[in-house]
Amino acid sequence: MASILAALLFLVFPICPRGFANTSGSLPDPSNPNTYTGPSFVKEIARLKSALETARESPERLQVLIDSLPNLWTVEAGTQEYRVPTSTLADRLKKAEHFPEGRRLELDKAQEYLDALVSETDDLSKTPSPNSSAARIALDKILSQPEYHRNGAPSWWDRMRAQLNQMILDALSRIFRNIGSQKSLGQVLLWLGICAAAVLIAVAMFRRWIRSARLEEMALESAAIPARSWQQWIYASRAAADRRDYRLAIHCAYWAGISRLQDQGTVPLDRAKTPREYLRSLSKSKLIFPETHAARYQALSAMTSRLENTWYGYRTPTEEDFRDSLVQLEILGCPRT
């Protein structure tokens, strides 16, 4: 659409430089002595500039220059005709005549105005005349595109789409009209919305309660761990493994490692801490030799992950899991007995 408007504007409005009044369509008057072509207008301005330099020294010559100015100049450029008023130049010259203290400034401004006219005339001579035939060809090419091929009658697809849209609008209007006229239906929708909001709130509260209960269960289980020596924990772990209760065996092996680290002072004597809190305490401990710190941290990390998966996550452990826990216990300082 923008390209069509540009082509139409190009056809209707020819290019006109600033400062020139375009009067295209009117026939030039060959008898008018103030009618110029581009080169002759430049020569006339050069004559005025020379006269302006002469008038700088004599107010009388300045008045002669003012009186010699016509009301406007007519400049022809091809098929176009431009009319340039002389009022701006005349005003500058009159101010220079009546105010001697500002004469030099006003004459300098008049000189700049004449230079600007020369520049615009040069631009006018370089500007190609608008080619209406080329613009017409471009416009015809745009209008020949498929989206502009409308013979006035809508196609069957347009009619079908209009009927479908009208059916949807009619159905929606009936629904909303019935809701507004029947109070019972509006009340039913209102109570349905209230019930849906209540269900969503209840589900959110239930999920939060389950999450809190799970955390409390883990904390209570941690607090309920009896105080045993690491040797007693290993004995209980082996006894559970003999019964093929590897879940309990891994649980006891983990607490044997924690008890051993507590004896060494590397983790706090706090049964309420969670496995991850014990692991963080070991990472911050400064009572372990640097050369063994990384190995012990990896060993406790492996036992912590296995405890979470088997004891809290109910994953079925194997005998290999139990034997690997015994290997990690040796790294933590629990020798095999």
Residue 77 has pLDDT above 80, yes or no: no
Amino acid identity at 229? S
Asked whether residue 174 is assigned to any structural domain, the reply reads no
Residue 38 has pLDDT above 80, yes or no: no
Amino acid identity at 209? W
Asked whether residue 312 is assigned to any structural domain, the reply reads yes
Which H or E run contains 307?
helix 290-307
In the block, tokens 């209840």 appear at 202
Please measure the distance between the N-terminal and C-terminal CA atoms of the chain and give it in whole angstroms: 91
Task: Give the end of a domain, one of 64, 98, 126.
Answer: 126
Task: Give the end of a domain, one of 126, 161, 191.
Answer: 126
Asked whether residue 195 is assigned to any structural domain, the reply reads no
For the chain, the domain total comes to 2
| Least confident range of 20-34, 51-65, 109-123 | 20-34
How many alpha carbons lie under 13 Å from residue 275 in its C-beta half-sphere? 20
Q: The domain containing residue 97 runs over which residues?
A: 18-126
Asked whether residue 90 is assigned to any structural domain, the reply reads yes
In the block, tokens 């608008």 appear at 130
Tokens of 262: 């507590």
Asked whether residue 154 is assigned to any structural domain, the reply reads no
Asked whether residue 68 is assigned to any structural domain, the reply reads yes
Find the mean pLDDT for residues 246-258: 92
219, 288 contact by CB (below 8 A): no
CA 170 remoteness from chain centre:
39
The model's pLDDT over 171-212, given as tens digits with 9 standing for 90+, comes to 777 766 665 555 566 677 777 888 888 898 988 888 888 776
Asked whether residue 76 is assigned to any structural domain, the reply reads yes
CA distance 248 to 242: 11
pLDDT of 303: 92
Is the model more confident about 225 or about 19?
225
Find the mean pLDDT for residues 318-329: 91
Q: What's the 3-state SS for 189-203?
A: HHHHHHHHHHHHHHH
The model's pLDDT over 157-167, given as tens digits with 9 standing for 90+, comes to 878 888 888 88
**Helix, strand, or coil (residue 36):** strand
CA distance 222 to 275: 9
Task: Give the end of a domain, one of 126, 148, 171.
Answer: 126
Report pTM: 0.36
Asked whether residue 27 is assigned to any structural domain, the reply reads yes
